Amino acid sequence: MKSITLENISKSYQKSEFAVKNVNFKAEEGEFVILVGPSGCGKSTILKMIAGLEEITEGKLYFDDRLMNSATPAERNIGMVFQNYALYPHLNVFDNIAFPLSIKKTAKNIIREKVTATAKMLGLEDYLDKKPKHLSGGQRQRVALGRAIVREPDVFLFDEPLSNLDAKLRVQMRTEIVNLHRKFGATSIYVTHDQTEAMTMGDKLIVMNDGEIMQVGTPKEIYEAPQNIFTASFLGNPQINLFDGTLTGNVFKFNAESTGIQLPEKATSSDYSEKATLGIRPEFLQTTTSDENSIATKIINIEYLGHEKLLYFDFGGLKCLRQNADSAYSVGDKIRISPDRNKIILFDQNGNRL
Ligand code: ADP
């Protein structure tokens, strides 16, 4: 097992533009780290630099204390699992899993032992003589996992491995991958654009946007204390509600006419008066009859989800609050809404947390 450290790593494919800009993070030995962000933000580029499949333009990559910038992929002893499985179509399941051992000229009896044990662990023992085209998506991804596991790598890299699976299988494979990690404890870096995978799978989340790291923390830290509007909006479904307004001392006003929301502690100094954004998650908004610290609005849509209802209203854009499934509101009802003031997150004009 190894720790992985990226120090001021940048990557440019073309001379002028950087796909990855000055990235710093450490995956501790045995840690499961998630790199999450929208498509094109540089996640795969980072994985490829760690795997030795792309050159590092600037910065240093370490496995433990060893500088790895110019190590060959083989020297890095990495197991990679890709979105498209990357199986050999002409080989059966046994030979696909055995492939990394066969090219290392491992003894036949050892190959058989290891492949059989790996296939058993992944529930593939009845499919060993099948070709990939006869397998379901989930089984193919298990074969790809088996091929990564069988070589006993120091590090696992996952590049959106569940994106091609249907919703039900994704849930199942999430648990399987997390349990495999618990079993092997190998340092793992997992790339996804899916916020549910990010929230549910990792010890440490690295949120990226446009080649840069926006925030690093546990899922709970990032959900509860996002450092900027990008991170706040990226995690959470439905998204955090964002209200533009003005913050004067301790009072947030949505517009000139509104009485405003009195914040519980001094968010800013008393002479502060600036445009700001108030962020509040849908679970921390409630309906009220009081005029104080509330806004008047109208329900424009209700989504019934079985265990809860989502009430939508328009207040400077579409906003949402969660209600119990038996809540009696109807579309068109006029309501007042107030936030749990202890859960408000304020952002400055540049979108950074105040
Ligand atoms: P992600 O994995 O987050 O979707 P990528 O790392 O694939 O993002 O891409 C980051 C940026 O680098 C994108 O703008 C993409 O177009 C660019 N890019 C990726 N691979 C190449 C390449 N081989 N040549 C040129 N540009 C690339």
What are the pLDDT digits (tens) for 51-91?
Answer: 999 999 999 999 999 999 999 998 999 998 888 778 999 99
Q: Is the CB of residue 115 less than 8 Å from the CB of residue 150?
A: yes
Q: Is the CB of 45 under 6 A from ligand 1?
A: yes
Please give the tally of structural domains in the chain: 2
- CATH number of the domain within which 52 lies: 3.40.50.300
- Domain with 253 in it: 238-348
- CATH number of the domain within which 255 lies: 2.40.50.140
With a cut of 80, say whether residue 286 has pLDDT above it: yes
Atom of ligand 1 nearest to the CA of 42: 6
Q: What is the mean pLDDT of residues 110-126?
A: 92
> Which residues share a beta bridge with 285?
339
Ligand 1 atom 25: residue of nearest CA: 13
217-275 per-position pLDDT tens digit: 999 999 999 999 999 999 999 999 999 999 988 889 988 777 788 888 765 666 677 89
Choose the final residue of a domain: 215, 233, 251.
Answer: 233
Same domain, 265 and 215: no
Tell me the CA–centroid distance for residue 19 and ligand 1, in Å.
6
Whole-number pLDDT of residue 119 = 92
- The residue to mutate among 44, 46, 189, 194, having the most atoms of ligand 1 within 8 angstroms of its beta carbon, is 44
Same domain, 312 and 182: no
Q: What is the mean pLDDT of residues 283-310?
A: 95
- What contacts 135, CB < 8 A, 6 or more positions away? 93, 127, 143
Atom of ligand 1 nearest to the CA of 11: 12
Same domain, 121 and 259: no
Query: What are 286's two structure tokens?
Result: 């409630």
Ligand 1 atom 17: residue of nearest CA: 19
Same domain, 286 and 200: no
135 in a structural domain: yes
Atom of ligand 1 nearest to the CA of 47: 6
Q: What is the mean pLDDT of the chain?
A: 92
Tell me the CA–centroid distance for residue 212 and ligand 1, in Å.
13
The CA-based angle 174-178-179, given to 5 degrees, is 115
Q: What is the pTM of this model?
A: 0.90
